[in-house]
Amino acid sequence: EVQLVESGGGLVQPGGSLRLSCAASVFTFSRFAMSWVRQAPGKGLEWVSVISGTGGVTYYADSVKGRFTISRDNSKDTLYLQMDSLRAEDAAIYFCAKSTSIRYPLDSWGQGILVAVSS
Amino acid sequence: EIVLTQSPATLSVSPGERATLSCRASQSVGTNLAWYQQRPGQAPRLLIYGASARATGVPARFSNSGSGTEFTLTISSLLSEDFGLYYCQQYDSWPLTFGGGTKVEI
């Protein structure tokens, strides 16, 4: 069974930075696109970003463009999300998820990691 | 950006009854629509994609119909494990977007 385990969350001040990681196992990581999706407390799902299997193609939601950077290290089977200039509205549970391609449904999800933004 | 509108916001049903959830897109997404289930405290789970294909392990009581801008998820006979939140998502164009969700409650 596919395993995706997020880490790196926590409390950060507005304007601060945080880097999330998602460790993948039990599948050939480099063959699949990976996404980040977030969910603010008590709210719905919001797609954040996606990266292709090779890492050569990325897309972002407008709400994070220019502040967040998605990347991956296929030698380590790990996905990253570098979050800079954090705002209160970025507070959420962040899920990583895999898909067959960048514009495809998200077929496996991690359990999520909480990011809190507060002074 | 394609906006997905789900209705109703909350659906109250009894075990064994049929549940019908709607997802309307602001412009055509063809059949590039997926449905997810999220139980309390859990990550979302892919149910249906390509408008009608069930994901691995999803029981046949879940089905979808529609294309273009109108989609319907039907749960033919609700079990207790089916209660929770349901989201539709379009993957036809950027940015990928989710609907606001429908809560299926007892």
Residues of A in contact with B32 (CB under 8 A): 103
Output the six-digit token pair for B35: 């449905």
State which residue of chain B sits closest to A111, comparing Cα positions.
Answer: B43
Separation in Å, CA of A97 to nearest CA in chain B: 10
DSSP of B28-73: --TT-EEEEEE-TTS--EEEEETTTEEPTT--TTEEEEEETTEEEE
Look at B46 and A107 and tell me if their CB atoms are within 8 Å.
yes
Residues of A in contact with B55 (CB under 8 A): 105, 107
Per-residue DSSP letter, A42: T
pLDDT tens, residue by residue, B2-36: 999 999 999 999 999 999 999 999 999 999 999 99
On the question of pLDDT at B58 being above 90, the answer is yes
Look at B34 and A105 and tell me if their CB atoms are within 8 Å.
yes
C-alpha distances in Å from residue B96, one per residue of A16, A30, A59, A71, B14: 26, 22, 9, 18, 33
Look at A59 and B32 and tell me if their CB atoms are within 8 Å.
no
pLDDT tens, residue by residue, B82-103: 999 999 999 999 999 999 999 9
Separation in Å, CA of B73 to nearest CA in chain A: 16
On the question of pLDDT at B51 being above 80, the answer is no
Place of tokens 């296929």: A74
Separation in Å, CA of B49 to nearest CA in chain A: 7
CB under 8 Å to B63, separation ≥6 — which residues?
B48, B52, B54, B73, B74, B76
pLDDT for the residue A71:
98
Output the six-digit token pair for B24: 């309307």
DSSP of A52-74: -SSS--EEE-TTTTTTEEEEEET
Q: What are phi and psi of A29, to 5 degrees?
A: -50, -45
On the question of pLDDT at B52 being above 90, the answer is no
Look at A47 and B95 and tell me if their CB atoms are within 8 Å.
yes
Look at A105 and B92 and tell me if their CB atoms are within 8 Å.
no
Q: Is the separation of the CB atoms in B78 and B16 below 8 Å? A: yes
Separation in Å, CA of B59 to nearest CA in chain A: 16
Residues of A in contact with B89 (CB under 8 A): 45, 47, 105-106
Going residue by residue through chain A, which has 119 residues, state the pLDDT in tens, using 9 for 90 and above.
Answer: 999 999 999 999 999 999 999 999 999 999 999 999 999 999 999 999 999 999 999 999 999 999 999 999 999 999 999 999 999 999 999 999 999 999 999 999 999 999 999 99
pLDDT for the residue B81:
93
pLDDT for the residue B106:
84
pLDDT for the residue B34:
97
The rounded mean pLDDT for chain B is 95
